[in-house]
Amino acid sequence: MIIAPRRFTARSAACLLAVAGAAASATAQISTENPPPTLQWFECRWSDMERRMGDFFVAGYGSTWVPPPSRAYVPPSSPNQNSTSVGYDVFDRFDLGKPNAQTAYGTEASFHQVVQEFHLAGAEVYIDTILNHNGFRQTGATFQAEGGWPGLWMASANPPVNKQPTSPWGDFHAGVSGGYLQSENPGGSRYCLLRGDLVALVDIDQASVNNFIRQPTTPGNPLNIPGGSVFNRPDPANARFYPDQALGTDTVFNPGMSFAGPLNTGIFAPPCDIPARNEPATQLTLGRFNLADPMAGDPVPENATGYLLRWVQWMADVHHVDGYRLDAIKHTPSWFFDTFFDSAIANRRRTPDGRLVTPYSFGECVEGNDFTFDRYVRKPNGRTSGRSVAGDAFGNRDALDLNGAGQLRDIISANGLGSWNNVTSALLDLTDDGLQNGSIGMAHVFSHDNAYGDGGSNPPTPTTRQQGPFAHAFLLMRAGRATLYHNARGVARNGSGFYPRAGLTAPLGVEPATNAPNDTFTTLVRLSNWLGRGEYQPRAQDADVLVFERRTPLGGGAYSGNCLVGVNDRYDAGFDQRIVSTSFPAGTRLIEMTGNAANPAVDPNNDIFDTIVVGAGGSVTLRVPRNLNPLGAEHNRGYVVYAPAIPAGTLTISNQSGSLPAESFSVPSWRRRANAVPVVSAPSFEIQLTTTNGDPQATTNDNADDNALFRLNAGFEDWNASGAPDIGFQNDVSPGYENFVTQRQPLAGTTNANGLYRQAIDATRLPEGMNYLSVLAFRKRNLNEAALFREWRTALYIDRLPPDATLTNPSPLPSGTLQHRFSLRALDRTVSRIHLILNPPVGGDPLLLANGSNQAVQDDRFDWSRTLTGLAEGPNTVLLLAFEESGRGSAQFFTVFVGLPPCDPDLNQDGNVDQDDIEYLVGVVAGGSNGTGIDPDFNQDGNVDQDDIAALTDVVGGGPCP
């Protein structure tokens, strides 16, 4: 597409203020449900993420933020073409890695598969997205002669010469006579926020209008981007990166963005000023990618912005990512996002129930909250009163809460001498409407940029104190989005350059160094999911202790309490007591949910209340532990969460044939499975939930469970023969879940000891391999009160069928061939290893022949290869063994001929010459696969056609071989 960026002029401030005032009431419609937390999962290869998906799911996460998936520059002369870059110095956006030229995280095929696996687990995938810059500015003639940046034009001379700052730079910003502009140091020379290089990364000029076919397919086309010896060369395979014009187009109407505020700061001279955010309504026409036939794409000319937008669309339409973390957004003009980016991604995400919605995006703006909100936030209902309009029904663009995160890190590092007042006043969430309601801001404590480490070497493992559990309790239990950062240390680094900082060590429930269970963060993630309902209401706050309630408005000034949270930053021994008012009715029993009150390491003297009974007027006395217990031992669990009792109980899966066990140190920590996974090989099984009263001291079951629901994988399937999915997408709490109908026996309102929920499941409808089960049991509550529940999650491995793989049979090989590298392909996602054996011994169980010496090498997510030596003239037998993690294997025999094969009428290799061979050949002639390797040109006339079928029919009838 050809994009023509524009500069825009300011509109009347009075007009904008009137619009803002009219829109302010929309804040009342903001949902204060907690989306399931996000795991920022870095330094882990895609295949290892896929392997640990069960742990991710069981921990309770609902989304992930992964590093930039595109490949960085590797000199063509390098003998090893695999990149080890973290990815922020992007080279070729459309190159997600391939065998022998991988990214630090793997290949395009492995990335595509891990996204599918996240989706199967009901989770969204947000990719770190680089639209401001490319890699480090390259000025040399050699780089230009190679072709320069794929898809972007450097305006190279012919022949190329070393570039100077004032040289023409094409799609990139040039410098000035004194050198290149820079955008990271406002006090330094040549500072230019929107045109300068960020830490020497070459800055893209999104306003440039240089129209080329930027990924050419046909040599000689005058519209092709000028190429070099290696890059930007025509390649027919580039067609898959373009939409197919035969599929038509979609026109996106963007209503534009207006903002009343002092955006032109006046501190820079043109062209380094910051333009006002005032974009008119526009239309953008987008093509459609052909997922069935990717090579049907049609290259068209476009400028740099069009190239960037096509990649963004490709990642959504082809690789099905769910959102974008926008790196260095403050260094990119806001009009690029408001006018073009938002249009390119509008309604490009398909939800599990089949709707098209706008992906979630969030920018990294290392500036103050007003600057960030005024320029880069565009969310539904994300409005301020009287100052601006930064939300409409079109955008879904948020920002990282960097100021709030900085204050949370400060209160951690202050070791008890910080202040919660600094934290709560710094939150980005306050900027739009003055409320902590989750309306804006991706909240976090740490990220790859600002956790422990110096950014230039392998970071040390942070202590538990440095990880700040009490700060994460605040983060996860308040309203709105939250993300936890984990550096899995699963990518080999040489210790130089940017190394992602250290992160939480056990956000998946186990300590990597010791393999010991650690539920500190997973418990908080789950409590956020179970209890994080309703608005945030502070109840007590000072420098040391913050107590807040989550409550639901019932109308008429009435509220229903959902949970009460206390956090404490002090690092002297003991606890702090506070008396607060709440929305809970007098007499309500509140149970401490984190386990800290019952933990002798936290509370050796039993000072922290296990249960609180609400007093008159909703009064509550609670004690919040400091981070050292009364005996002076450090435990770092300075927080409590109280809530009405939620159902307890046990989830079981019937018809189990075994399990995939939790793993030991023999498996590297970044791919080590922390939770055992039940295996089902039967055609059916039952989900069985047995509930008990969550309050062991309750005298009645009045508020025990009154219902339970289940979800398999991403949900929205009919598993109970009701005719349709039971819970629709409109439900904020349990969209896509199903009712138990085999048996539904709630505990609430009975004198029983247990509730019981059972559902028979047809296992033949589930995909082979890993599946993901969630079960919710709800506390009985009054009408209009928010749902409180306990959730049980487990991964479940379906193993009904053997793994499926095949050999790409090169038969016949040239006469005299002694060795050959064979290509093998897995035909389902369960295949974990393949073995290939030449001329195996006859008899016995062929699966027992598998060993390390005959194991094939995995080249890609579904591709393996192995060289076989000792091929003999004539027929050779090749045995392919495929295995999955459950231990189940499959064996296939192939005949590979060296030299011209003799007539062999047993085409299907079943030991008989009969009608089955004719049917097999009919299938091959019709375009089917030839898995046996027998030459289908049966009459040896050079064609595979009906004549071969006729010749074989004669032989089956008793005639001679041709």
Dump the DSSP string for 784-838.
TPPP-EEEEEEEEEE-SS---EEEE--PSBPTT--EEEEEEEESSTTEEEEEEEE
Q: Are 657 and 681 in contact (CB under 8 A)?
A: yes
d(CA 109, CA 87): 17
Burial of 245 (0-12, 13-18, 19+ CB in 10 A): middle
Containing 881, the helix (H) or strand (E) segment is strand 874-884
Containing 254, the helix (H) or strand (E) segment is strand 249-254
pLDDT at position 781: 94
Q: What is the DSSP letter of 338?
A: I
> Bridge partners of 558?
555
d(CA 259, CA 335): 12
For the four alpha carbons of 67, 72, 74 and 76, in that order, the dihedral sign comes to positive
Identify the band that residue 381 occupies on the pLDDT scale cut at 50, 70 and 90: low
Q: What is the mean pLDDT of residues 354-363?
A: 96
d(CA 224, CA 240): 16
Which residues 6+ apart lie within 8 Å of 269 measured at CB?
A: none
Rounded to 10 degrees, what is the CA torsion of 501, 502, 504, 507? Answer: 80
Q: In what order do the strands lie in the sheet with 481-487?
A: 397-399, 360-363, 323-326, 124-129, 63-66, 38-42, 481-487, 442-444
Identify the band that residue 32 occupies on the pLDDT scale cut at 50, 70 and 90: low
Q: Are 893 and 909 in contact (CB under 8 A)?
A: yes
pLDDT, one tens digit per residue, over 598-651 is 999 999 999 999 999 999 999 999 999 999 999 999 999 999 999 999 999 999
Q: Is 547 left (phi over 0), alpha (psi -120 to 50) or beta?
A: beta
* Per-residue pLDDT at 21 exceeds 70: no
pLDDT, one tens digit per residue, over 453-463 is 888 888 899 99
Q: What is the mean pLDDT of residues 36-53?
A: 97
pLDDT, one tens digit per residue, over 76-86 is 999 999 999 99
pLDDT, one tens digit per residue, over 164-175 is 999 999 999 999
Q: What is the mean pLDDT of residues 549-574?
A: 96
Identify the band that residue 809 occupies on the pLDDT scale cut at 50, 70 and 90: confident
The three-state secondary structure class of 227 is coil
d(CA 80, CA 69): 19
Identify the band that residue 911 occupies on the pLDDT scale cut at 50, 70 and 90: confident
In this prediction, what percent of the chain has a pLDDT beyond 70? 94
Q: Which of 8-22, 321-335, 586-600 has the lowest mean pLDDT?
A: 8-22
Q: What is the mean pLDDT of residues 191-198?
A: 95
In this prediction, what percent of the chain has a pLDDT beyond 90? 81
Amino acid residing at 539: R
Q: How far is CA 107 from CA 71, 262, 607, 649, 671, in A?
A: 9, 46, 54, 42, 17
- In 165-248, where do the E strands start and end? 201-203
Judging by DSSP bridges, how do beta strands 257-258 and 278-279 pair with one another?
Answer: antiparallel
pLDDT at position 391: 54
* Per-residue pLDDT at 383 exceeds 60: no
d(CA 341, CA 544): 43
pLDDT at position 9: 29
Judge if the upstream peptide bond of residue 159 is cis by omega within 30 degrees of 0. yes
The closest alpha carbon to 408, from 441, 376, 382, belongs to 441
Judging by DSSP bridges, how do beta strands 133-136 and 639-644 pair with one another?
Answer: unpaired
Task: Give φ, ψ of 648 to 5 degrees.
Answer: -110, 180
pLDDT, one tens digit per residue, over 827-862 is 999 999 999 999 999 889 999 999 999 999 999 999
Token pair for residue 35?
């989306």
Question: Which ranges in 10-130 belong to alpha helices (H)?
Answer: 13-23, 46-51, 53-59, 108-120
The closest alpha carbon to 389, from 449, 433, 450, belongs to 433
pLDDT at position 901: 65
Q: In what order do the strands lie in the sheet with 874-884?
A: 831-838, 874-884, 889-898
Question: Which ranges in 899-945 belong to alpha helices (H)?
Answer: 915-925
Q: What is the mean pLDDT of residues 96-121?
A: 97
* Per-residue pLDDT at 22 exceeds 50: no
Residue with tokens 């053997």: 802
Within its chain, how far is the Cα of 956 from the centroid?
Answer: 56
More confident of the two residues 383 and 665: 665
d(CA 215, CA 218): 10
Q: How many CB atoms lie within 10 A of CB 884?
A: 23
For the four alpha carbons of 451, 456, 461 and 462, in that order, the dihedral sign comes to negative
Q: What is the pTM of this model?
A: 0.92
Token pair for residue 535?
């608005």
Which residues 6+ apart lie within 8 Å of 890 measured at CB?
A: 802, 803, 804, 805, 881, 882
* Per-residue pLDDT at 145 exceeds 60: yes
Judging by DSSP bridges, how do beta strands 38-42 and 63-66 pair with one another?
Answer: parallel
pLDDT at position 702: 94
> Bridge partners of 611?
591
Token pair for residue 372?
């960030």
d(CA 480, CA 246): 43
d(CA 721, CA 959): 56
Q: Which of 191-200, 220-229, 303-312, 892-901 has the lowest mean pLDDT?
A: 892-901
The three-state secondary structure class of 406 is helix
More confident of the two residues 395 and 38: 38
* Per-residue pLDDT at 267 exceeds 60: no
Counts for the chain of helices (H) and strands (E), in that order: 17, 43
Judging by DSSP bridges, how do beta strands 360-363 and 323-326 pair with one another?
Answer: parallel
The three-state secondary structure class of 40 is strand
d(CA 879, CA 895): 9
d(CA 932, CA 910): 10
Identify the band that residue 498 occupies on the pLDDT scale cut at 50, 70 and 90: confident
Q: Are 277 and 375 in contact (CB under 8 A)?
A: yes
Containing 356, the helix (H) or strand (E) segment is strand 356-357
Q: In what order do the strands lie in the sheet with 589-592?
A: 535-541, 545-555, 558-568, 639-644, 589-592, 611-613
Identify the band that residue 17 occupies on the pLDDT scale cut at 50, 70 and 90: very low
pLDDT at position 456: 83
Q: Which of 384-398, 658-672, 817-831 has the lowest mean pLDDT?
A: 384-398
Q: Are 69 and 87 in contact (CB under 8 A)?
A: yes
Burial of 288 (0-12, 13-18, 19+ CB in 10 A): middle
The closest alpha carbon to 255, from 284, 220, 276, belongs to 284
d(CA 467, CA 484): 11
Token pair for residue 22?
């009219």
Q: Is 294 left (phi over 0), alpha (psi -120 to 50) or beta?
A: alpha
pLDDT at position 15: 24
Q: Are 403 and 386 in contact (CB under 8 A)?
A: no
Q: Are 207 and 304 in contact (CB under 8 A)?
A: no
- Give CA angle at 752 (751, 758), nearest 5°: 140
d(CA 611, CA 622): 10
Q: End-to-end distance of the chain based on CA atoms, in angstroms? A: 57
Q: Are 149 and 89 in contact (CB under 8 A)?
A: no
Judging by DSSP bridges, how do beta strands 124-129 and 133-136 pair with one another?
Answer: unpaired
Q: What is the DSSP letter of 246?
A: G
Q: How far is CA 908 from CA 880, 913, 918, in A?
A: 16, 9, 9
Q: What is the mean pLDDT of residues 367-373?
A: 92
* Length reported for the chain: 962
d(CA 288, CA 291): 9
The closest alpha carbon to 608, from 576, 635, 631, belongs to 576
